[in-house]
Structures are given as structure tokens and as C-alpha cells.
Amino acid sequence: MGGKNGREDEKQSVELPLFETKPRKGNTAYKLFSLTVFLAICFIWFYRFTNIPTTGEAGRWAWIGMFISEVLFGIYWIFTQSARWDVAYTFPFKQRLSLRYEEELPGVDVFVCTADPILEPPTLVINTVLSVLSFNYPPHKLSVYLSDDGGSEFTFYALLEASTFSKHWIPFCNKFKVEPRSPQVYFSQNIHDGHDQIFAEEWSNTKKLYEEMRNRIEIAMESGRISDEIKNQHKGFSEWNSKTTKQDHHSIVKILIDGRNSKAVDAYGNQLPTLVYLSREKKPGKPHNFKAGSMNALIRVSAEVSNAPIILNLDCDMYSNDADAIREALCFFMDEKRGHEISFVQHPQCYANVTKNDLYGNVARVTSKIELACLGSHGAALYCGTGCFHRRASLCGKEYSKEHKYELNGGQEKMNDGRSIEELEEASKVVANCSYEEGTQWGKGMGLVYGCLSEDIITGLTIQCRGWKSVYYNPKRHAFLGVAPSTLEVALVQHKRWSEGLFQIFFSNYNPFTYGFRKIKLAAQMGYCIYLLWAPISIPTLCYVILPSLCLLHNISLFPKVTSIWFLPFAYVYAARNGYGLAEALSSGETVRSWWNLQRIWMIRRTTTYFFAFFDTVSRQLGFTETALFTLTGKVMDNDVEKRYQQEIMEFGSSSLMFTITSMLALLNLLSFIWGAMKLGLAPEFLPQVSLSGVIVMVNMPVYEALFIRKDSGSLPLSVLIRSVLALSVVCLMPVFFPGNAK
């Protein structure tokens, strides 16, 4: 009876898809709601256009500035609807995959990228490596590659130590179904209490081995040298000499675990996955194309060693949080009906160190659960640079064709071609040389695209324009977890880099409306522009933060009276935008406070980093010298900073130009709010502007605390207060928009 049921279950499994897509409940209701918002926006545009003050009348240019801002806001809002109208979610069935293809699972190559042993400590890197080495996947079909763009022998040494520790860590994980499989994270949970004695003993022994390994790595880092005793234990250290630097070194490829060799086994005699260290060649004057160049070198080196048809790429701080992540991703690639057209499967960027109320808006749950999911339902999920499974063929430039289906059963021919480790390493060094790409299509039609800070987004777009589809998958248990910025300055610098790179794409030949014309859906083109236009949306935001407050100080009204019927569209758009935004956030798992924190962060981003990104990009397009407002510096978070972060106290602590602008805008709105509130009884027509300034004041409460109340090292320096007051004085005295007082 049991055998019969088993055969029936297997037969039914063959007939069922490996994944399904379900539309979000309430899509129709949202469309009706968004139409009412659009109608209100049109009324606002009509009101602004038909009530422009005459030439010479007070506030004419401020009114025009508000009109232009509201037009731009409205157009941008229309773009955002492309990522909300048809939200759908994907669900894989890994049990069906196991029943159907357990013996035919494809090879998988995992790429982990690091660039600096100081900013990205080797212990952090190897925890990510160990977490992916211990995936719940056949080890002879799994290969892990670490790309070290820093060319550091400390990173190599750490990986060498990890290769030894993996012989104990992998069987421990498999035996006790450990989650997560990053040793640092797992052992910090102290979950051995309450388990049986066998588990407790193995837990203690494995933790001891991990602590000993970590101590050896940290001692080497602190001393600044690898001891001769350690160097003599592995010939790989001979690749480094006194002339080796981060920007000038030859290709280094070392296979630390040869998964082809039956002798490469763990402490229990089980096969180990392949583990490879790569540091591509770098020479002064030779372009290395940053992470895109690193990824392309990994693609070529892995093609020499394992050539798996599926590639997973991760940042070095993004450890695996789900041992079955590969199996779930394969459900999309191996589905009989739709799998052959899928190029990549993108997971959301999630973080392990986010505070309860997400102080710096790092998580962006609404973006992950709604916007990116909706773009995925259009077959145009964004490639975000980490946590992404790729089909090697599509990543290497192959066009999608219904007639030619790229199978996933390749890769093993390389693993079994009979070449020795030395031969594989030498062949890999050749393709990792900086001159290898000269005269080829690498960086253009093959691999990741060069020439843009956001190489991941532009690469995903080019793949989709070659006919492939992409999937966005946001599982209940996050597949990968990284480290989010824990200071405001670092968070803003990160967004400055992102927004600048995204805006570059809009100006380039890869603009979604031209490059993607008739290749991807219009909704997908608009969806890309939600992020590509982060930088220019700073201009109308600055206008809305500055102009109403300045006009209030000069007794100029910019909004209809509260008693006027024309006030209703303004009130409705404001209430609908914030009310629905709050409901959307709560339904996505945020708290009211985290939603409020995000409003603050969005305003700070749009008035500082996005504006700088806009200015830099436009300057570059016009051929002017790019401004140098930021430098990326590594900062170690001390105990005080960590304590304030956990208490959700904003960390300023520097005299950055960003903070001067933020402080000036906060003081401007505080001044106008006080001034407007004092005269509100005699001039009720200013209520909308007073209310707007009041909201901005509430959003900026942490800024006022950092300026006037706090005395810790994370507060704003006196120099920021002085500069912001001087800037405020200049702004308040500007006569350009105010030829006279309102009548």
C-alpha cells in the first residue's frame, strides 16, 4: 500500500510545477485607489497652472518652482505605480524538486567577493565562505570561489584555515541540521543548553576549534605578518613577496580543496566541496573595473575549474541563512514549463544587525515585499549585486531562444577532465590576467557590464533585453543576511554611490526607455526608472522643503486657503500618500516608528546624498570636474557607537557637508514654524505652510537634539551649527523669489 501511494505521489509530483506565482490580494482595489490619487494630482496641476501670479507679483517664481516640483513629483509617482499595480509572489516547491531531480541536480558555483582585509576583516569573509560550503547540497556538485581583490595574504591565510575547519564544521551542520551555518552567528546564539549530551559535547568541541582558528587569524592580523612557520606549511604563500601590493600583483589562483579528489573528505570521511582562492592580476594603469571586473574574472576561472551551469554571487558579509537556498532557487530554473526562460533569481538584501525600528531605513521592507516583487512579476526583477542565482549561459551573453534551451546538466566534464591541480591553477591564472579581456566582448556583451557604478542593475537590464526573464524571490526565512550600515554617514555615503550609479544609467545608452524599447515591458522600463531617478527627485524635494518656509517668513502664501475647495486635492494627496504608506509598511512587517524613521531618512537622503549624486552626474555629463564631497573610509565601530546604535540614537559625529545642509534645512523650518505659528491667528491662510513646516520639524527632532542637547561624541559638532546658521542667514535674505510682500 505504501509503495503504491509513493508511486502515486511521485507521478503527481511530475505533473505539478516546481514553482507557482500568485497575485497579491487587493490589486484591483489598489488600482481604484491610485486612480483617485492621480485625479487629485491632476487637480493640483490645474490649480497651480491657472493661478500663477502675474509678472512682478510677490512669490511668482516661488509659485512656479512649486508648480514644477509638483509636476515632477506627479510624474515620478506615476512611475512608482508600475511597481504596485500587479504585485505577485513566487513560491517554489523544493520537495517536488527532490522527488523529480535529486540524482540530476546541476553543479553550482558560489562566488564570494572581498576587496580589503581592513574594511572587510578575514574572519567576516570566512564565515560567509563556511556558510555556503555547508549548503544542503551534494558536495561533489558544489564549488566555492573567493575573489580577493585586495590581494592579501591574510585573506588567503584565513581561507586556508577555513578549509581545515570545514572538515569539522560541515559534518556538524549536516548531522544536527544547524541553522544558520555561519559559525560566528551560530555560536553566538548559545543554543546548546537543553540538548542531549552528544550534541552538547560536539557543540563545545566544534566551537573550541572555531575559536582557536579565529584567534590565530586575529593574531596574524594584529601582528601584521604571517609567521614563517605557517608559510612553510603551504606553498601558496610563495605567491606573495615584498613587491606585492593591492594594486600591483600577478594572478593568484589556489585550489585549497579539490572536490574531484576522493581524498578530499571531512572528519567523517564524506566528500568535501571544492574551494578556490582567486586574486586576479592588477597592474598600474590597467583598468580593473572594480566589482564587475572581479565577477568576470570569477566567471572565467570557474569555467576552467568546475564550469557549473548555475552561479550564486554573494558579498563577503552576506552569509547563508538557509541551507536549502540552492534547492529553492533551482525550482525556478528547472521547472519544465517556464524554467528554460529564467536567467536569474534575485533574493532581497536583508541584514542581521538591523535595530527593531530600523533606525537608518536599511531594510526597506516595502521596497522588498512590494516594489521588487511587482517588477519580478513583469519578468524584470532587478539584479542587485548579491544574493542572486544566475544561469551561466545568460550571464555570459547568450541570447534567449525558444528553439535552443540551455540545459542545466553541464559542468561535470570540467571536474572530470583529468587535469591536475597545478594544471588547473595555471590555466586559471591566464584567464585572470588583466590583459586577457583586451579585444574581447567581456564587459560589453559578456559578463557584467563595465563603465557604471551600478554594474549589477545595468547587467540585469542587458540580460532581460536579450529575451531572458528574471525572478524575484522573497522567502519567509531570509536566504542570506548581511551587515547594514550602523552610522548615518556610512548609510548616506552608500546611497550616494548607489544613486549616482543609477542616474548614470539613465543618461547612458542603457536608458530603459531606449535600450529596452520593445524588448521589455513598458511597466518594467518605468519600474527601473523608480531607482534610476533617485538623484533628480532631490530637486523638487529641496524646493518643497525650502520654498514654503521661506515664503512663510516673507508673508507669501503658496497654497489655497483651507476653506477653499482647491485645498481638498492637496489634503487628499498628502493624507492618501502617508496613510496608505503607513498601512503598506505595517502590512510588510514594519512598526509605526520604523515607518517614521524611514520618512526621516528619505528626506535626509533626498536633500543631501541624492542631490550630490545629481550634481556629480550632471557635471560629468557636461564635462566639468566632478566634485569630491565624499571619501570612503573604513571605520571601526567602538563600544559607544555600538551602544547608541542599539539604543536607536542617531550617530552624526562629524562635520560632513551633508550634516551642514541637513541642519540648515532643519533650522529653516523650525524658524518658519515658530514665525508662522505666532501670526496664524491673524493670517489663517498660512495654515498649510505652517503645518508643512511643523511636519518637517517633527521629522528633524533627532537633528535638533544632536545640535543643542546631546553632548556625546555622536552629536553634531559646533562647527556644523555655525556653518548651518550662516547658510540659513544667506538663504533667508535671498531676494530673488521675493520682490515684495504679499498683498
Q: Distance (Å, rounded) from C-alpha 656 to C-alpha 380?
A: 37
Q: 520-533: string of b/e by CB count within 10 Å (b at 16+)?
A: bbebbbbbbbbbbb
Nearest to 303 by CA among 239, 256, 261, 253: 253
Report the amino acid identity of residue 90.
T
Residue whose C-alpha cell is 532643519: 666
- CA angle 395/400/406 to nearest 5° reads 75
Exposed/middle/buried for 639, CB within 10 Å: 0-12, 13-18, 19+?
exposed
Q: Distance (Å, rounded) from C-alpha 703 to C-alpha 650?
A: 9
Backbone φ and ψ of 272, nearest 5°: -105, 155
Q: Distance (Å, rounded) from C-alpha 612 to C-alpha 626?
A: 10
Strand extents, DSSP E, 501-645: none
Backbone φ and ψ of 652, nearest 5°: -100, -85
Q: Distance (Å, rounded) from C-alpha 120 to C-alpha 317?
A: 8
Q: Distance (Å, rounded) from C-alpha 711 to C-alpha 703?
A: 13
DSSP 8-state class, residue 109: E
Q: Could you tell me if 62 and 519 are in contact, meaning their C-beta atoms sit under 8 angstroms apart?
A: no
Give me 199's grid cell.
550534541
Q: Quick check: helix, strand or coil at residue 446?
A: strand
Question: For the range 2-7, what are the long-range contacts, defined as Cβ-Cβ under 8 Å and sequence gap of 24 or more?
Answer: none
Give me 177's grid cell.
541540521
Give me 191's grid cell.
543554543
Q: How far is CA 98 from CA 2, 90, 327, 331, 410, in A?
A: 19, 19, 8, 10, 19
Residues marked as catalytic: 149, 456
Q: For residue 180, is the peptide bond before it cis, meaning its omega torsion is within 30 degrees of 0?
A: yes
Q: How far is CA 255 from CA 69, 185, 263, 419, in A?
A: 57, 27, 14, 13
Sign of CA dihedral 648, 654, 659, 660: positive
Q: Distance (Å, rounded) from C-alpha 329 to C-alpha 311?
A: 11
Q: How far is CA 15 from CA 12, 305, 697, in A?
A: 5, 36, 60
Exposed/middle/buried for 586, CB within 10 Å: 0-12, 13-18, 19+?
middle
DSSP 8-state class, residue 273: P
Q: Could you tell me if 297 and 280 are in contact, meaning their C-beta atoms sit under 8 angstroms apart?
A: yes
Report the amino acid identity of residue 68.
I
